[in-house]
Amino acid sequence: MRLFAAVVPPPRVAEHLAAALDRYRSGDTSLRWTRVESWHLTLAFYGSCTEAQAEERGAWLRERLRGHGPVRLRLAGAGRFRGVLWAGVDGDADALHAIARAAGAEDERVVKEARRWHPHLTLARWRASRPPRVVSRVVDGLADYRGPEWVAEEVVLLNSELHPAGARYTAQARCPLTSSRPPID
């Protein structure tokens, strides 16, 4: 199992962004577009583990998130990292960062990624050293994009399984965001 913690946007939010991307995705083969039903905001990546370790990670994550309340979010704008085209996130950024920190996003003992955490939703990937031209068109075209707001009420512990058609994600644990006690630092 390869585990990570994520916030999953509701279908209406994903469908709104997918409609905005339709003109860029049709016929373009220079990018590997991610599947809309797989879209998520990764908070922390934990790496490979056993099934027993996944259960422990779920309990750990629920405890770490206790006291963190729901957060209002919106997909907005676009950008790129090396090899990744992404949609941005706005809304209650401070609360989202606090949730990511609680999930381990900035803890070197937990995180298996080299770069600093930046909230985003991966739209597509490429392998070439330079991004395909469509990447600039998408980033420019979505510069003023503001999707519908939603309230994230849970963090999902997901298992990533790699398949030829792309990664498939299955929920291993659901961790509600409630304000029942102060956050753990």
Spell out the domains of the chain, with CATH numbers in brackets: 2-176 (3.90.1140.10)
Candidates 153, 155, 181; CA nearest to 57 is: 155
Residues 86-104 have pLDDT tens digits of: 999 999 999 999 999 999 9
Q: How confident is the model at residue 14 (pLDDT cuts 50, 70, 90)?
A: very high
Quick one: pLDDT at residue 110?
Answer: 65
**Does residue 113 surpass a pLDDT of 60?**
no
Q: Kindly name the residue from 40, 68, 118, 163 that is annotated as catalytic.
A: 40
Catalytic residue list contains 97: no
CA distance 43 to 28: 29
Q: What percent of the chain has pLDDT over 70?
A: 92
Q: Kindly name the residue from 16, 97, 120, 163 that is annotated as catalytic.
A: 120
Catalytic residue list contains 68: no
The pair of structure tokens assigned to 123 is 């739209």
Average pLDDT value for residue range 66-70: 96
Measured over the CA atoms of residue 149, residue 155, residue 159 and residue 160, the dihedral's sign is positive
Quick one: pLDDT at residue 167?
Answer: 81
